[in-house]
């Protein structure tokens, strides 16, 4: 499974948040070592980022406010 996330600055480092769905599907826990492959995502000027698939029913429910 892969995910797209935005980097943010914390001190002198950049931090990427791992989404809950990825944490749960991979059984990740705090303190574990993971391998991360970095690939820049090119933004489309039509409002969608390349590499992101179509919306799923879960995405639609999330956007409607069912965050849980």
**Per-residue confidence band for 7, with pLDDT thresholds at 50, 70 and 90:** very high
* 34 contact partners, CB below 8 Å, separation of at least 6: 28
Cα-based distances in Å from 24 to 27, 33, 52: 5, 15, 20
Q: End-to-end distance of the chain based on CA atoms, in angstroms?
A: 20
Give strand pairing partners of 49.
Answer: 43
* pLDDT, tens only, 15-37: 999 999 999 999 999 999 999 99
Provide the pLDDT for residue 52. Answer: 65
**Per-residue confidence band for 43, with pLDDT thresholds at 50, 70 and 90:** confident
How many CB atoms lie under 10 A from the CB of residue 62?
Answer: 13
């Amino acid at each position: 499974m892969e995910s797209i996330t935005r980097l943010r600055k914390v001190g002198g480092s950049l931090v990427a948040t791992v989404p809950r769905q990825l944490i749960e599907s991979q059984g990740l826990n705090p303190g574990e070592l993971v391998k991360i492959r970095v690939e820049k995502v090119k933004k489309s000027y039509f409002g969608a980022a390349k590499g992101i698939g179509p919306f799923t029913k879960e995405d639609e429910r999330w956007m409607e406010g069912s965050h849980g």
